[in-house]
């Protein structure tokens, strides 16, 4: 939230169990960010319903648990990671597109999770946009909708390019409607 403020965005924050789809529709947001949190996607309040309802209508970014929710909504399997990564950093490789445009390869990112999207059966609707040297999925991009997910935490001080990644999402969101199908 702080980075979005620094990037001159007006931000409203709601708990995933303290807002309804109808209330979101009335707000008519420019974009939606599904943020991190504890637990599994099935325990993430209305996060999955938000993704299902608003895909193609608003740009959506999922971070950590939000990333896993995006994966699950579109048919990905969420599994236990081989290594629990709470407060640890990893080098992130990526495809240099969308969220990762002009982001250096091998940038350091902070991770706080024990679950990941299973790479073995990733749905065809996704491009894998970022990964670790262990081939763990760290980013997904929907092929049809402006729906992006990142497993790591861009807001962490130890994520060197976090603000730039969020700014890339804002640029994508501002182009929404001109370049993306709904």
- Per-residue model confidence as pLDDT tens digits over 5-48: 888 888 999 999 999 999 999 999 999 999 988 889 998 999 99
Share of the chain above pLDDT 70, in %: 97
d(CA 62, CA 130) in angstroms, rounded, equals 14
Tell me the whole-structure pTM to 2 decimals: 0.94
| Residues ≥6 apart with Cβ < 8 Å to 35 | 63, 64, 65, 66
Residues 99 and 169: beta-carbon distance below 8 Å = yes
**pLDDT confidence of 96, banded at 50, 70, 90?**
very high
Name the average pLDDT for the chain: 94
CATH class of the domain whose range is 2-174? alpha beta
**pLDDT confidence of 2, banded at 50, 70, 90?**
confident
pLDDT tens digit sequence for 111-149: 999 999 999 999 999 999 999 999 999 999 999 999 999
**pLDDT confidence of 166, banded at 50, 70, 90?**
very high
Query: In the prediction, which pLDDT does 177 show?
Result: 64
Residues 128 and 150: beta-carbon distance below 8 Å = no
**Could you count the other beta carbons within 10 Å of the beta carbon of residue 117?**
27
Nearest to 174 by CA among 140, 145, 146, 144: 146
d(CA 38, CA 54) in angstroms, rounded, equals 23
Q: Can you tell me whether residue 122 is helix, strand or coil? A: coil
**pLDDT confidence of 181, banded at 50, 70, 90?**
very low
Q: Residues with catalytic annotation?
A: 64, 153, 155
**pLDDT confidence of 66, banded at 50, 70, 90?**
very high
Q: Tell me what the mean pLDDT of segment 81-109 comes to.
A: 95
**pLDDT confidence of 106, banded at 50, 70, 90?**
very high
pLDDT of residue 178 exceeding 90: no
pLDDT of residue 174 exceeding 70: yes
Residues 99 and 65: beta-carbon distance below 8 Å = no
Q: Across the chain, which distance is largest between two alpha carbons, in Å?
A: 43
Going through the chain in order, the beta strands assigned E by DSSP cover 32-34, 60-63, 78-94, 107-117, 126-131, 137-142, 147-150
Query: In the prediction, which pLDDT does 3 show?
Result: 86
- What's the full length of the chain, in residues? 182
d(CA 145, CA 127) in angstroms, rounded, equals 12
């Amino acid at each position: 939230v702080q980075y979005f403020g620094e990037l001159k965005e007006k931000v409203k924050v709601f708990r995933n169990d303290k807002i309804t789809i109808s209330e979101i529709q009335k707000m008519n947001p420019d974009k939606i960010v599904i943020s991190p949190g504890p637990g599994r996607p099935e325990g993430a309040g209305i996060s999955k319903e938000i993704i299902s309802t608003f895909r193609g209508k608003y740009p959506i970014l999922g971070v950590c648990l939000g990333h896993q929710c995006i994966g699950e909504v579109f048919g990905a399997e969420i599994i236990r990671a081989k290594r629990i990564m709470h407060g640890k950093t990893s080098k992130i490789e990526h495809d240099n597109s969308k969220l990762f445009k002009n982001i250096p390869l091998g940038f350091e990112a902070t991770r706080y999770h024990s679950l990941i999207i299973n790479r073995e059966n990733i749905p065809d609707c996704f491009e894998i946009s970022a990964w670790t040297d262990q081939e763990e999925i760290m980013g997904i991009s929907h092929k049809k909708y402006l729906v992006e997910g990142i497993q790591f935490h861009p807001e962490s001080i130890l994520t060197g390019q976090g603000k730039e990644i969020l700014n890339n999402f804002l640029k994508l969101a501002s182009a929404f409607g001109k370049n993306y199908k709904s």
